[in-house]
Structure 1
Amino acid sequence: METSSIFAAARDGMRTISGPLLDLSLSRGRSQSYAVIRSIAPVGIVVPLHGHDEPETMVVVEGVLEAWLDGAWNRYKKGEVIDIASNVPHALRNSGHEEVALVLVTTPRMARFFDEISVSQAQADVTPERLAHIAKIAAAYGFWSASPEQQAAIGIVLPE
């Protein structure tokens, strides 16, 4: 597995959401109409099928990221843009052999959500309690999460 060198200087300070690493520092404390987040998607990471009001635009800076959009998995390489409109069901995965570095532009509300559910990398263990916490916060934000059957239909098997 190759480790991304793109965000190496920020890597140690990045937080995690059960796998993906996030640098929220570019948006924290700013009163803008958008948020910019640097992220690293480790090999094997899966972001389950979900949806929310907030649009997301991602630019792949390094590696290859797969996104479930419009009923199919699509591959996005370095320099390509993944544009997810409001309320569009989507999922992400890195099934390659190298980490994926990307820049995400979204709303300040989404950045606050990420801030609420993320933890330091030292606290990154995926436990049933941690997953329940993420689900509770997501529900409070009004986000939609697919059922285990809907996840399985697109090839995602969630931990029990």
Structure 2
Amino acid sequence: MLRGLLPILSGLVLAASTGPIPEAVEMRPGIYILKGGATPAIYSALKQQHITHVVDLRKDGEITPQSAFVVTTLQEMKVHYMRYATSRVPPAGDLDFLRTLLKGFPKDARIVITCNNGNRAAAAICPWLILDQHLPVEEVLVASRRAGLTAPETEEAIRGYLKERL
């Protein structure tokens, strides 16, 4: 009986599953972590999923000439694009800002958070899920690892941030 309840409970607590956007993991309904850059298939999926906002966490050195195409394409799709560069070990100020940003989106916003490999994007959402959505720390971290949180120093920064605020 317990085995039958586990999939239901984990689905209720944290969605973190691959979904309709290639290379993306849905962390909560309508909130995705995207690993890497957009492709035509991803643009199509963003449009089909009615994505309203894209938050790009890449730093200047990671931006390619194709980035102008990305911004133009998203604007044509009426998607709000925001770039907020953060490092592999995000400082508390960046995490504070990203929490505030996520809390400030409209309730019906459909959001993609992206970086080169998903590490920073997955880390960026952890504090919001734990502190503001009141989800369990370890469950959020497990889901974030599936979404791309792979660097131990990034996870350590998230744990330190949470320790100071819990």
Fold conserved (TM > 0.5)?
Answer: no
Q: TM-score range by the shorter chain?
A: 0.3 to 0.5
Higher alpha-carbon Rg? 2
Q: Which has the higher strand share?
A: 1
Q: Which has the higher helix share?
A: 2
Under a length normalisation based on structure 1, what TM-score does the superposition of the two structures give?
0.34
